[in-house]
Amino acid sequence: MITEVSRHGKFLDLRCVGGSGAGDDLHLLMHLARAGVLRWRTDIPEKPLRPGKSPLAFRLGARGRTGFDLTEAGTQKRLAVYLVRDPADVPGVAHPGA
């Protein structure tokens, strides 16, 4: 379950409750690059897409067929997605501008 949404520079941070309680939270950090789009969906298809056939770069499915897609226009997919316990574990957050 997503409990908080925040930013670290150009990174979007979705904080999620961990399985064992306090201190076990996870952070899903995303950098959308130049042309990335996050789209919430209430109808995630059960059948997976074939790689290379769409602008889809990342899909996260949650309970009840909800979730989101990250898409990026163009042929160069430069989106970045990290799942970490501490946002400082992501190089672009720990050292902005480096």
Domain range enclosing 15: 1-32+79-98
What would the two tokens of residue 77 be? 């997919």
38 shares its domain with 64: yes
Residues of the chain by 3-state class (helix, strand, coil), percent to 5: 10, 45, 45
88 shares its domain with 69: no
70 shares its domain with 84: no
43 shares its domain with 28: no
26 shares its domain with 2: yes
72 shares its domain with 86: no
What would the two tokens of residue 32 be? 């959308």
Nearest to 17 by CA among 28, 6, 32, 31: 28
Burial tier of 92 (Cβ tally within 10 Å: 0-12, 13-18, 19+): middle
| Structural domain total, the chain | 2
Burial tier of 30 (Cβ tally within 10 Å: 0-12, 13-18, 19+): buried
* pTM, to two decimals: 0.80
50 shares its domain with 40: yes
53 shares its domain with 20: no
98 shares its domain with 69: no
- The tens-digit pLDDT sequence of the chain (98 residues) is 788 999 998 899 999 887 666 568 899 999 988 888 999 999 988 887 776 667 888 888 887 889 899 888 877 778 899 999 999 999 889 877 65
Question: What is the spatial distance between Cα 14 and Cα 82, in angstroms, rounded to a whole number?
Answer: 10
